[in-house]
Amino acid sequence: MKIALVGYGKMGKIIDEIATKRGHEIVARLKETPTAENLNNPDVVIEFSLPEVAYENIKACLENKIPVICGTTGWLDKKPEIEQMAIQNGTAFLYGSNFSLGVNLFFALNEKLADLMKNVDEYSCQLEEIHHVHKKDAPSGTAISIAEGIFKNNQKFDSWKLEETQGNQLGIFAIRENEVPGTHSVFYRSEVDEIEIKHTAFNRNGFALGAVVAAEWIKDKKGNFTMKDVLGL
């Protein structure tokens, strides 16, 4: 495949290395806004940039009828518009708050646990995420996805807030320290015990590999997708 990378920071460079090892050609490595000219006619775009430019980057690619794999978080208020653009332009869009295989299995486990706990009133729920100090958004997109998985299966909660859980608002502690790639935990606490599920990333390679696998999967497809579609979860 011919792949264009939009956003060429740490993640972009790891994706470059992994995609090349898997036999793909990187036809563009962009830090600027993509255009028909500088994208160099790719089969797919992988977009890992910054929250403030992600929407325009994705919009430009979809308008050129190029499918987009997006891993940038912190811009999701405009996601419905992007999904409509993908349909209108007859191409494909896949957003992942986290492309790691382990995290997507964790998402499924989180939803199952939330369903089990929905009628057990003795337990309160709290989320925690830890990331490197360079991360721009808080909470992380992964933490928001975890929270949404809980909302879907446990009607006690319908929104999230930073810090502690209060009423129907699920609390998320967003911690920034050193070079942590990403740690996410879900706690159910009662007066007598605690249940915890946790995912710890050791490096960024799992995120990068998942993005490349998603790019391989989405070629020639049309519509809006998630990693659940890619992994058959």
Active site residues: 131, 135
Same domain, 143 and 75: no
Rg, C-alpha atoms of the chain: 18
Same-domain status, 30 and 90? yes
**Residue 71 counted as an annotated binding residue:** yes
- Please tell me whether the overall predicted TM-score, pTM, comes out greater than 0.85 for this model: no
Does 98 belong to an annotated binding site? yes
Write down the pLDDT at residue 94. 98
* CATH number of the domain bearing residue 37: 3.40.50.720
Contacts 24+ apart (CB under 8 A), 133-138: 133/176, 133/177, 133/178, 135/176, 136/50, 136/51, 136/74, 137/51, 137/73, 137/74, 138/162, 138/174, 138/176
- pLDDT the model gives residue 98: 84
* 142 has binding-site annotation: yes
> Are residues 185 and 111 located together in one domain of the fold?
yes
The answer to whether residues 80 and 116 belong to one domain is: no
Q: Which domain holds residue 45?
A: 2-99+205-231
Regions in the chain scoring below 70 on pLDDT: none
Residues 8 and 46 grouped into a single domain:
yes
Q: How does pLDDT run across 213-223, given as a tens digit for each residue?
A: 999 999 899 99
35 is in an annotated binding site: no
Domain co-membership, 16 together with 88: yes
Q: Are strands 223-225 and 92-95 parallel, antiparallel or unpaired?
A: parallel
Q: Which amino acid is at 205?
A: N
- Alpha helices for 76-132 (secondary structure H): 79-88, 101-117
What secondary structure letter does DSSP report for 209?
H
Q: Phi and psi of 113, rounded to 5°?
A: -65, -40
90 is in an annotated binding site: no
Q: How many domains does the chain have?
A: 2
126: domain CATH number? 3.30.360.10
